[in-house]
Amino acid sequence: MVFSSQIFLFVFLPLCIFGAYLVRPDFRKYFLILASLAFFAWTGKRPLALFVIFALVNYGMGLLQGRLRDNEGLGKKIANWLAIVSNVAFLLAFRYLPFFTNILASITGAELPKIELPVLLGVSFFVFSAISYQYDIYYNKIAPQKNIADFLLYISFFPKLLQGPITRAGEFSAQLANNKLNLDNLSRGVYRFTMGLAKKVIIADQLGAMVDQIFANPANANGVSIAWLGAFGYAMQIFFDFSGYTDMAIGLGQMLGFDLPENFNLPYLSLNISDFWRRWHITLSSWFRDYVFYPLEFKRRKQKVFRTESNTLIVFFLTGFWHGAGWQFIVWGIWHGVFSSLEAFLRAKKVKTKAPKIVRYLVTMLIVLVGWVLFRSPGIKYGLQYLGVMFGLVKPIETGLTLGWHLNGKVAFTLLLAVLACIPWKQWMPNLFEKLADSKLNDPIRLVAFLILLGFSIMMVMSSTYNSFIYFKF
Amino acid sequence: MRSSISKIFISIVFFAILIIPVAVSDKVGGAVSPFENRYLAKFPSVIVNKNQIAPGLKEGFEAWLKDNLVGRVEAQKAKAYIDFKLFASSPSPLVHIGEGGWWFFTNDRNLEIGQGTHLLSNEELEAISENQEAIRSSLKEQGIDYVLVLVPSKASVYPEYMKGGNYQVGPTLIDQVSTYLQENTTVPVINIKPNLIDAKNEQDVYFRTDTHWNHTGAYIAYKTIIEKSNYFGMIKTQPISHATEPATHNGDLSAMMGYPGLLPTEPFEATAIQTPHAFLVSDSEKVSRVKRLIADHDIVGEYFSYSNPSAEKSALILGDSFFLTWKIPDLFAENFAEMNFIRTDIVVNDIIQAINPDIVILERTERYIYTLANPANVRLEPAHQEDLSADVVSHNTPTAVERGESYNVNIMVKNTGDWAWSEDDQIRLCIFQDGKDFGYRINLPEGVKVDPGQDYTFVLYNFRVDDGDTTYLEYQMIKEGYQYFGEKERVDIVVK
């Protein structure tokens, strides 16, 4: 059940929000647990059962770790090791098993039995939440959650369940303890949710149709300009899709009295790759920083040469792999890792670039764009060939298609809208926005913007149900 | 937002927009959406067998919700209007906006077909050849001529009007297939494309706002087929002359974009047959039989039959939407004593046998040409070899009945053929009422076998008439899905 689907928007969301406001405050968390499990159950009964088992096992392991937290012996380490390894194993099994099976089969040439496990949507997100929970208990950053309902809600809270933001147990528990529903939160949430929905259905989905067409062609069947359009369109699509989804998640959280962490901060204004990763999918970057990078730095603290660089590369390798069970994701991660490592190396050597900002910006965006092509491609070979076309290294076959085939009025307008939405108007024109914030026009302008975006978004969602059967086959 | 009124306002508006479309929706569903030309999804059953949750409830509920949200049609119209008027873009990926007021259907790789970039593989071509050769030889054995007619996509005839490239008329999928069949099989193939290309400089041969050809293009196709069939020696009849009259047409591409009134009404010259000799036959035993066979083979397309006493020979045309209308059936009906049309891509021997035509014409449009490679579309095995025959020996049908009163009727039938009857072979007694087969059957009980020469008494339980002053029943044996057989006994009944 995605947030922009009809079933979520027109049924689940109103029922859930009204339910949360109507139930007694002391029952609210139980209601939210039920709602979250119902949300997850939409993917199937077996996934739900697995998810509940996963949550209960983590709850139990958290308690076990808590019991051993004052134990300086091996028991504490083993309990933590068990907790982390079982979570990683769960993630590998339910997300990466076919990937590893294929690798094994291609190496050995053997025909391996096909193991079909149910698809667990959002597994990467909720497993990472669980790992951070176990890790934080081990390092005494948080106490294990004794209240099973509180723990279940942390793991299953539906706004963040499928696509994040990845929340930390400590932050969530504090918010749960002070959870308040009021008009302020509700209206903030409604506004934020609507912005996210608009990003998703007005920009991302519209660009997605064009991008899908381009990437459905053989890599060398797109001309140079079309290949660049596809890459640029995808860069915009993925940002507005993901950040739109995050806005919806944050908005839902606000409606229910929770402040979920921000995930994006104008990533397409980054001046280098390290900067990009401080602005893009912030909760994932910080997760890898806290739970992989820092421990690696500590563990290898005696290594003086290329420690940070190699650790950075490891983190980006894992970041790529986390995004998908395919070599293209790994290559994408390494691509970013190489530049991040290089930047770390230059920082360590205190080398300062003298290149003007605009050059640094363009180079960064080029690296990001190349990365997105690899990320979007169905495989590495395709991605490299596509990039070859973009940079004139591969001669595209003549299909007769020109840029105009894909870049129609609607796509051009949507791209323009996307670019305008990436500009930090508030930062660039602080005076104007300050004046506006203080003026009487502030509310009316925001209201009009809200109504327009909500109206258009609902129109897009509803119109997607149109299904003409004038020709089905004939 | 600072003021509480603004906060309340946006919260109320937000939830009202989400709740109202569901709150006032059709909770039953299943209505017809003329806009989309389909039935909307019904509200699913929640509980089945007293205490079990209905399987597919989730999917059914989502389908109902999507189809019955109030405002969805208006939303689609608004979106279509904005896309079209504001951005000059097609509101639907199904439709491509071309140059000069030409619009193209995009599905089934139609545009790539027009560009000449979508061709079939050798394996597919071989599969088509095998199927076509099998049809031709099977029909030849039955003394029936066969011709394959290939109709080009609009994009193949008017590629120069597609945007986004410099496209010109050239070899496309239809040419690839027709050339391959002509070089590798003995199947007579008629490719309409060259004739349409020749004619297009004089006048439009396709509608600009529709997927299909206009009456001019359709007449060219008809004329080409008749002339080529003469050339092949299959028929000896000439294309009829026709008149034209100004008419207008609302193209199908408009509705495909989600707004039937989006594109302008298009003027065209409609074909008029001044003195038609053919007439539609809607109520005959043969038509009923063919309809049942069509249903038995799960063919959902339209079927109609024409009779023309002034012509000779009979034809069966199997085709798609290009032959369904545009006056094509009426034109062909003028050339044949009997002309049957079925909208299908399946060649079924039982249906051909039931119709028993002199010539079978299979028409396929370019974007569906791949279906010719599908072996499931060629059903040539005779359904039955057995000799089925029957006599109605006796029955006790009352010739006068009380309105609303129930009667049991015994009908004794003798197997006069060489094949034993049983329910395993789906051999049953068919009851016609007022000349129509409403599907009422009396089955042989499980395990009962009626050998050749034996009698069997079927019992028609609870026969009653509620309406009308008279009615009549007819009894005839049937091998389900294939044929009625044996004597047909009629009884006229007065209703008191």
- List, for residues A78-104, the tens digit of each pLDDT value: 888 999 999 999 999 988 888 888 888
Q: Which of A249, A210, A217, A258 is nearest to A415 (CA)?
A: A210
Q: Is residue B84 part of a domain?
A: no
d(CA B103, CA B89): 11
Instruction: Verify that B403 and B351 share a domain, yes or no.
Output: no
Could you tell me if B301 and B406 lie in one domain? Answer: no
Decide if B65 and A446 are in contact by the 8 Å CB cutoff: no
Q: How far is CA B183 from the centre of its chain?
A: 31
- Is A413's pLDDT higher than 80? yes
CA-CA-CA-CA torsion sign (A354, A358, A364, A367):
negative
- pLDDT for B210: 94
Q: What distance in Å separates the CA atoms of residue B418 and residue A25, rounded to the nearest whole number?
A: 83
- Asked if B474 contacts B436 with a C-beta cutoff of 8 angstroms, the reply is no
B387/B374 Cα distance (integer angstroms): 32
Residue A184 with chain B: CB contacts under 8 Å: 7
Q: Quick one: tokens of A341? A: 């490592």
| Cα distance between residue B363 and residue B369, in whole Å | 10
Whether B108 and B223 map to the same domain: the answer is yes
* Inter-chain CB proximity B36 and A451 less than 8 Å: no
What the block records as the tokens of A275 is: 């900067």
| % of chain A surpassing 90 pLDDT | 61
Whole-complex ipTM: 0.88
- Is residue A41 within 8 A of residue A113, CB to CB? The reply is no
**Chain B residues touching A467 at Cβ < 8 A:** 36, 38
Residue B131, in any domain of the structure: yes
Contact A10 B22 (CB under 8 A): yes
Establish if B7 belongs to a structural domain: no
Catalytic: which of A281, A323, A336, A406? A323
A120-173 residue pLDDT tens: 888 999 999 999 999 999 888 899 999 999 999 999 999 998 888 999 999 999
Size of interface A-B (CB pairs under 8 A): 159
Do B474 and B424 fall within a single domain?
Answer: yes
Write the pLDDT tens digit of every residue in A270-305: 999 999 999 999 999 999 999 999 999 888 888 888
Q: B29, B51, B70 — which closes off a domain?
A: B70
In a domain, residue B38? The reply is yes
Q: Give the model's pLDDT for residue A318.
A: 94
In terms of CA atoms, which chain A residue is nearest residue B70? A462
Within 8 A of B118 by CB-CB distance, chain A residues are none
Average pLDDT of the residues in A400-419: 87
As for how many domains chain B has, the answer is: 3
Closest CA to A249 of A3, A29, A49: A3
**Chain B residue with minimum CA distance to A255:** B11
Domain-embedded: residue B228: yes
Tokens 């970057």, residue located: A285
Mean confidence (pLDDT) of chain A: 90
Q: Which of B2, B72, B107 sits opposite A443 (nearest CB)?
A: B2
Q: Map residue B478 onto helix, strand or coil.
A: strand
Whole-number Cα distances in Å, B424 to A66, B427, B444, B476, B480: 71, 8, 9, 18, 11
Residue A472 has pLDDT above 50, yes or no: no
Please, is A327 exposed, middle or buried when counting C-beta atoms within 10 Å of its C-beta (0-12, 13-18, 19+)? Answer: middle
Distance from CA of B2 to the nearest CA of A (A): 7
Domain boundary among B379, B404, B420: B379
Task: Tell me if B5 is assigned to some domain.
Answer: no
Question: Is the Cβ–Cβ distance between B152 and B192 less than 8 Å?
Answer: yes
DSSP letters, A216-252, are HS-GGGS-HHHHHHHHHHHHHHHHHHHHHHHHHHHHH
Same-domain pairing of B262 and B295: yes
> What whole-number percentage of chain A has pLDDT above 70?
98
Q: What is the largest CA-CA distance in chain A?
A: 75
What mean pLDDT comes out for the span A69-77? 79
pLDDT of residue A164: 80
Q: What is the pLDDT of residue B437?
A: 67
Residue A209: list chain B partners with CB under 8 A. 93
- For residue B98, what is the nearest residue in chain A, using CA coordinates? A405
Tens of each residue's pLDDT in chain B, 496 residues: 678 888 999 999 999 999 999 999 888 887 887 777 677 888 888 887 777 777 778 888 888 998 899 998 889 889 988 988 888 888 888 888 898 999 999 888 888 899 898 999 999 999 999 999 999 999 999 999 999 999 999 999 999 999 877 789 999 999 999 999 999 999 999 999 999 999 999 999 999 999 999 999 999 999 999 999 999 999 999 999 989 999 999 998 988 887 888 888 999 999 999 889 999 998 888 999 899 888 877 787 899 999 999 999 999 999 999 999 899 999 999 999 999 999 998 898 889 999 999 999 999 999 999 889 877 677 776 555 567 889 999 888 888 888 778 888 889 999 998 888 988 777 889 898 877 766 678 989 888 899 999 999 999 988 888 777 778 899 999 876 566 788 888 888 877 7
**B266, B209 contact by CB (below 8 A):** yes
Write the DSSP assignment of B209-239 as a string of letters.
TSSSB-HHHHHHHHHHHHHHHHHTTS---PP
Domain match, B351 and B474 both = no
* Domain range enclosing B345: 99-379
pLDDT tens digits, one per residue of A231-284 = 999 999 999 999 999 999 999 999 999 999 999 999 999 999 999 999 999 999
| pLDDT recorded at residue A471 | 41
Strands (DSSP E) found in B326-406: 338-343, 347-348, 359-365, 378-379, 390-395, 400-401
Assess whether B437 and B349 both reside in one domain. no
Among B328, B348, B379, which residue terminates a domain? B379
Is the pLDDT at A474 greater than 50? The verdict is no
Minimum Cα–Cα distance from B371: chain A residue? A473
Mark whether A323 is an active-site residue: yes
B150 shares a domain with B276: yes
Look at residue B88 and tell me if it is in a domain. Answer: no
Work out the average pLDDT over A179-197: 93
d(C-alpha B306, C-alpha B291), whole Å: 14
Contacts for B177 with CB less than 8 Å, ≥ 6 apart: B120, B125, B128, B150, B369, B372
The one-letter amino acid code at A345 reads: F
Indicate the burial class of B197 (C-beta count within 10 angstroms; 0-12, 13-18, 19 or more): middle
pLDDT at A470 over 60: no
CA–CA gap between residue B91 and residue B265 (Å, rounded): 18
- Which of B69, B163, B368 is facing A465, going by the closest CB pair? B69
Indicate if B266 and B408 belong to the same structural domain.
no
Domain shared by B360 and B430, yes or no: no
CB contact under 8 A, B89 and A402: no
pLDDT score, position B384? 54
pLDDT at A98: 83
Residues B364 and B244 in one domain: yes
Tell me which chain A residues have a C-beta less than 8 angstroms from the C-beta of B36.
466-470
- The answer to whether residues B356 and B435 belong to one domain is no
Say yes or no for a CB contact (<8 Å) between A443 and B94.
no
Domain at B469, CATH number: 2.60.40.10
* pLDDT tops 50 at residue A473: no
Residue B42 domain-assigned (yes or no): yes
Chain-chain contact of B8 with A187 (C-beta, under 8 angstroms): yes
pLDDT at position B1 is 66
Could you tell me what percentage of chain A is helix, strand and coil, using 3-state DSSP and rounding each to the nearest 5? 75, 0, 25
